[in-house]
Amino acid sequence: MAYTAENWPITAALLQFPGTDAKGTQINDADASSWAEVLTEVKEAGFANADLTDSWVRPGDLSKERLAEFKQTAGNVGIGIPVISAIRRSVIHQTDWADNLAYSHRTIDAAAELGCEVVSIGLHQAITPEQQKQLWFWTVEGYKDPVGDKEVWGNAVSRIRELGQHAADAGVLLSLEMYEDTYLGTADSSVQLVQDIGLANVGLNPDLGNLIRLHRPIEDWREMVAKTMPYSNYWHMKNYIRDEDVARDSYITMPAPMESGLINYREAFKVALSVGFQGILCTEHYGGDGLSVTASNQEYLRRHILPKSDGYALGQSQVAQGRQLPAAELAGV
């Protein structure tokens, strides 16, 4: 039974909610009522599900009791948590890779405990001080993975494979978020990384918004969709408007509702179905009133983009879709 507009799971990203409150307290250490407040706001914006973005709460750092408290809180509010997104915890960070790897393992354990279907990770690293000074951090260059360095690439493959195997044992999909200037920064490199890892439950999170907002020439989004969707198992969706005036060396981008930005999600979604995509969708919006635009994005998807009935042709994905698969099958490529 394929998903339809009515039941396709869509999460709200929690990017807008800071990890510390006005008094400087980490939300991780806050009272459960603080968690309930955010989750209620998300639910009231129209969401049945949230992506537990760890810039807000880090489930991998919660004790067993606190994690149970979190699960209970979400249950009381009545919001599902089918995904955890761990942000800027690269397992090939030059000094912190071992910490990040351990954290990612704990995040997978937490995901299993919360009953999540997906954990999304990436290779992006902390925003630089120069990036922090900008209105939009992506308008200056940030961290870059070393292109062509076989050892580092190999480390990425083996460490993510280790996480993937753990995830498979836990019955969870691992999804790799695309992000500029990392090994997940181009369509070809991203696909290569998934192929090198070689586990059915490890796929891509084609967060193309991250890539089309850059103030420099970019890959064509249609080509990125064509290349990456066959390997995708989760999808951070957001959009930007973009103008280029090459003769004037001008590249202008701004956050936009999904409906009216550069990426044509109507077309992208047709491609997704044609290659068997049945992953969870996550609507995001970075900038301004992110939650309200995120809610508009969900409405746009359910009204215009998702299939009205389940009788549609669905292609065959290169990676596992959804948690229906038993753990053994998830792991066995």
By beta-carbon proximity to a second copy, the closer residue of 241 and 333 is 241
**Where does residue 200 rank: exposed (0-12), middle (13-18), buried (19+ CB within 10 A)?**
buried
Which of 2, 32, 36, 45 touches a second copy by CB under 8 A?
45
250 binds a second copy per the rule CB under 8 A = yes
29 binds a second copy per the rule CB under 8 A = no
Binding mask 259-298 for a second copy (x = CB under 8 A): xxxxxxxxx-------------------xxxxxxx-xx--
Contact between residue 266 and residue 302 where contact means Cβ atoms under 8 Å apart = no
Binding mask 110-129 for a second copy (x = CB under 8 A): --------------------
Nearest-10 crossing angle of helices 150-169, 97-114: 20
Which of 48, 251, 299, 315 touches a second copy by CB under 8 A?
251
313 binds a second copy per the rule CB under 8 A = no
Binding mask 180-219 for a second copy (x = CB under 8 A): -----------------------------------x----
223 binds a second copy per the rule CB under 8 A = no
Q: Angle at CA 102, nearest 5°, toward 231 and 28?
A: 100
Which of 35, 179, 277, 300 touches a second copy by CB under 8 A?
300
Give min distance, CB of 234 to a second copy, in A: 21
By beta-carbon proximity to a second copy, the closer residue of 30 and 262 is 262
Owner of token pair 């999304």: 120
By beta-carbon proximity to a second copy, the closer residue of 64 and 303 is 303
Count CB-CB contacts under 10 A for residue 18. 12
Cα–Cα dist 204/217, whole Å: 23
Buried-exposed string 171-189: b where 16+ CB fall within 10 A, e elsewhere:
bbbbbbbbbbbbbbbbbeb
By beta-carbon proximity to a second copy, the closer residue of 21 and 149 is 21
Cα–Cα dist 306/125, whole Å: 33
Cα–Cα dist 12/45, whole Å: 9
CA 77 to chain centre: 23
Euclidean distance between the first and the last CA atom of the chain, given in angstroms as a whole number: 23
List interacting residues with a second copy (CB under 8 A). 16, 44-45, 134-136, 139-140, 215, 239, 241-267, 287-293, 295-296, 300, 304-305, 308
